Amino acid sequence: MCKNKKSLYPIFCLFIFLPCIQPFIKAEDFESPEIVCNRAHGKIIVDGWLNEPAWKNAEKIDFVRIISFEKPDMETKAFCLYDDEYLYIGFIMYDMDIWGIYEKRDSLLYDEDVVEVFLKPNLSKDPYYEFEVSPRNIVLDAYLGNRTLAGNMFLRFAKWNCPGLKTAVKVKGTLNNWEDIDEYWSVEIAIPFRSLPSLKKAPLPDDIWLINLGRYDYSIYQKNINEVTTCSPITKFDFHRYEEWRFIRYK
């Protein structure tokens, strides 16, 4: 029998709670190499499946939780390719509770399951672009002329609709039914270069942009209502921090 139980209590607590402690990764320790965007060899049909042979030539882009950079509970895999007309971005989002109710373009899609794409062709100055797609294939697209107004007033920039934008979604599960367990949803986006007002033409090999990819996952299975993840080392709850986005190099 232990005579001094009180002295052993702190040690007991340490062993009980130690497995629950997750390291908080600092931004400077987060590895975020530039994303290489390869040319698409062969036609990509924007249908949401990502099953064309061309996608095999795209590098996989992993996501982490915003601010903490921890491994997410629900994995996201993203891919990008380009040709003379489009930047193609594909997502596969594992999700046990796929949810989306908005039906109108440019709704506040970050209040439900959504993936987001941010592009900044000019590294040194605005504008930049935002594209969001929900499980219902509802789109928000915005041409953001000034980041200082990108907070609650960013919807003024969402009045812009990207001509020729293509999006498609596939859901492996039951949309908006929390009583069953879903598997994943996938998205394909084709952004026409010539429709971006500050660009008008396709990038050349070795051109570098800034990019951020993000995801909101709302689920009854989440511990904190939702899980917000990104491919970039974002240190505050704000996807618009383009000084923390990653470089994307066209190859």
Q: What percent of the chain has pLDDT over 90?
A: 78
Which is more confidently placed, 140 or 9? 140
Q: Is 79 helix (H, G, I), strand (E, B) or coil?
A: strand
Mean residue pLDDT of the chain comes to 88
CA-derived radius of gyration, the chain: 20
Cα separation, 48 vs 110, whole angstroms: 20
Which is more confidently placed, 146 or 238? 238
Residue 226 confidence (pLDDT): 94
Contact 246, 239 (CB under 8 A): no
- The pTM assigned to this predicted structure is 0.87
The answer, yes or no, to whether residue 150 has pLDDT greater than 70, is no
Residue 31 confidence (pLDDT): 62
Lowest mean pLDDT among 16-25, 62-71, 153-162: 16-25
Cα separation, 176 vs 95, whole angstroms: 12
Contact 198, 122 (CB under 8 A): yes
Strand partners of residue 77: 62, 92
Cα atoms in the 13 Å half-sphere on the side-chain side of 145? 8
Cα separation, 166 vs 168, whole angstroms: 7
Structure tokens at 111: 């209040």
Contact 82, 39 (CB under 8 A): yes
Strand partners of residue 37: 250
Residue 224 confidence (pLDDT): 84
Question: What is the pLDDT averaged over residues 106-115?
Answer: 96
Q: How far is CA 105 from the centre of its chain?
A: 19
Residue found under tokens 């895999």? 77
Instruction: Quick: pLDDT tens for 70-92.
Output: 999 999 999 999 999 999 999 99
Which is more confidently placed, 2 or 40? 40
Which DSSP symbol is given to 201? S
pLDDT band at 6 (very low <50, low <70, confident <90, very high): very low
Structural domains in the chain plus CATH codes: 36-250 (2.60.40.1190)
Residue 157 confidence (pLDDT): 84
Instruction: Quick: pLDDT tens for 194-249.
Output: 999 999 789 999 999 999 999 999 999 988 889 999 999 999 999 999 999 999 99
Question: What is the pLDDT averaged over residues 52-62?
Answer: 97
pLDDT band at 28 (very low <50, low <70, confident <90, very high): low
